[in-house]
Chains A and B, each alone.
Chain A
Amino acid sequence: MSMIQVRNLKKSFGEHVVLQDVSLTVDEKEVVCIIGPSGSGKSTFLRCLNRLEKFQEGEVIINNHDYSNKGVNLNDVRKEVGMVFQQFNLFPHKTVLQNITMAPIKLLKMDKASAEKRAMELLEKVGLKEKRDSYPSQLSGGQQQRVAIARALAMNPKVMLFDEPTSALDPEMVGEVLEVMKQLAREGMTMVVVTHEMGFAREVSNHVIFMDGGYIVEENSPAELFSNPTHERTKAFLGKVL
């Protein structure tokens, strides 16, 4: 069953066309990695998936909800799609526990006790149980990003989007975040990951997508795409990053 369907997505900022014509299907439990040069539209594409950005043309259907439809309640659909940002974006005035329980309590109307119980399970999963009462500024980057993942998971999303989750981290912290993501992938979460971590893409993803100039230039299994890229631009890009 397909979890995400994107058809002929077009997106521009004013005159500047950023997504020319993008179509993509992601099945349930699949992990798709998006790679490509800076400015190719990777973040914009991801942000169109949960409608943090409006788009001009095309369709986005997630878990059978049609986002492109004007009447749809974006806040409801966003509850099904978790997002993790490059800069973590935890709420600095809330403790770790409050960061995680806030949305379930306010939006899913969970009672505080069950929300906290669930939050502790998630913290255990990302290995940060003992940080429940810390504030984000008291955590390292890698810890903050793991809390951000737990915060997104607390809404029980059907899909998780990651926008360069490890790019803002010191090298020694990249591993701990990727480990959490791998675990999530093993548990069957549907994931779309924009990343520069080619090792992660190769190891975890079912498909790798190479984007350039607002198009999906090439899409293939990681083994194929990394060893036998067919397009010149893919070859040039991989030549630089591998």
Chain B
Amino acid sequence: MVCVAVFKEIIVNSYPMFLLGLETTLRIFLISVSIGFLIGLFIALFKISTFKPASWLASGYVNIIRGTPFILQLLFIYTVNGFLFSYLNETWPTIFGDVDTRELSGIITVALNAGGYFSEIIRGGILSIDKGQMEASRSLGFSRKQTMWLVILPQAIRQLTPSLANQAIISLKDTSLLTTIGIGELMYQGSLVYAANFQILPTLTILGIIYFAIIYLLTQLFSLIERKVRIP
């Protein structure tokens, strides 16, 4: 009974902070994963391109993303943005006066990071499509590029929905690391809550339940999408 009362009290007192955090987390997630998907698509196309420099560039990108920790990528981009925007701010104060470099850096990091992993998933999917598809399409008169967009990618992406969903969920959880640079997402708001009420475990439990619930809903959404786009 005591236990339930503690949770109730935390929620009643602090729900605006949880909601604010949830909203920020979802906003950052949606923007960065959408951008990340596009980055992944183009990096995958670069990587399988017959134009060597493009494929080297893409490989380098993927290797850097995979070979370094997320938190380092975040601090690196945050610091670079710090320099960049203080310069821009001095030069054009009216335009860059109130850019929030924290959230911007967070979005860029999650997007670039997810993009690296998405690209490997998408590349694998493209390569798994039977080469007869390319030949049939070329023999009808479609160019390589048209074939990629009309024939190969639509099949690859459909088949990849589960892996893409998996990466999206990993990226959602990665947004909790943005707390390290003080972005007001869910994890950060939660830490403010327990710093004030000293109920660390109950507060962490509430955070956990919220994350779990979002991810559960996302999983349901993705499996709905998967069923919708499945090729009969």
A residues contacting B by CB (< 8 A) are 50, 52, 75-76, 78-79, 81-83, 85, 87, 89-93, 102-103, 106-107, 135, 137-138, 148, 151-152, 155
Contacts and interface: CB of A to CB of B under 8 A. Distances in A.
Contacts of A81: 139
Interface in B134-163: 135-143, 146, 150-151, 154-155, 158
30 contacts: A50-B139, A52-B135, A52-B139, A75-B141, A75-B143, A78-B139, A78-B141, A79-B140, A82-B139, A82-B140, A83-B136, A85-B135, A85-B136, A89-B135, A91-B137, A91-B155, A92-B155, A92-B231, A93-B154, A93-B155, A93-B158, A93-B231, A107-B141, A107-B142, A135-B231, A135-B232, A138-B232, A151-B140, A152-B139, A155-B141
B155 A152 contact: no
Contacts of B141: 75-76, 78-79, 103, 107, 155
B139 A83 contact: yes
Contacts of B146: 106
B135 A107 contact: no
Contacts of A82: 139-140
Contacts of A89: 130, 132-133, 135-136
A52 B193 CA distance: 65
B155 A102 contact: no
A242 B130 CA distance: 34
B142 A75 contact: yes
Contacts of B136: 83, 85, 89-91, 148
Nearest to B144: A75
B139 A87 contact: no
Contacts of B151: 91
A137 B232 CA distance: 7
A103 B140 contact: yes
A15 B65 CA distance: 40
Nearest to B155: A93
Contacts of A92: 155, 231
B133 A91 contact: yes
Contact of A155 (B133, B135, B140, B150): B140
B172 to A, nearest CB: 28
B134 to A, nearest CB: 9
A79 B146 CA distance: 14
A163 to B, nearest CB: 10
The 10 closest A-B pairs by CB, nearest first: A89-B136, A79-B141, A83-B139, A89-B132, A103-B140, A135-B232, A78-B141, A93-B231, A75-B141, A107-B141
A69 B155 CA distance: 34
Given A79-B140, A106-B142, A135-B232, 20 more contacts: A52-B139, A79-B141, A82-B139, A89-B135, A89-B136, A91-B133, A91-B151, A91-B155, A92-B155, A93-B154, A93-B231, A102-B140, A102-B150, A103-B142, A106-B150, A107-B142, A138-B232, A152-B140, A155-B140, A155-B141
B140 A107 contact: yes
A81 B141 CA distance: 9
A151 B150 CA distance: 16
A222 B158 CA distance: 48
A83 B140 CA distance: 8
Contacts of B231: 92-93, 135, 137
A187 B61 CA distance: 56
Contacts of B158: 93
Nearest to A51: B138
A148 B155 CA distance: 18
Given A89-B132, A93-B231, A137-B232, A52 B154 contact: no
Contacts of B143: 75
B138 A52 contact: yes
A78 B147 CA distance: 14
B69 to A, nearest CB: 38
Contacts of A90: 136
B232 A85 contact: no
A154 to B, nearest CB: 9
Nearest to B229: A93
B149 to A, nearest CB: 10
A155 B138 CA distance: 13
A92 B232 CA distance: 8
A82 B155 CA distance: 23
A106 B149 CA distance: 12
A16 B41 CA distance: 37
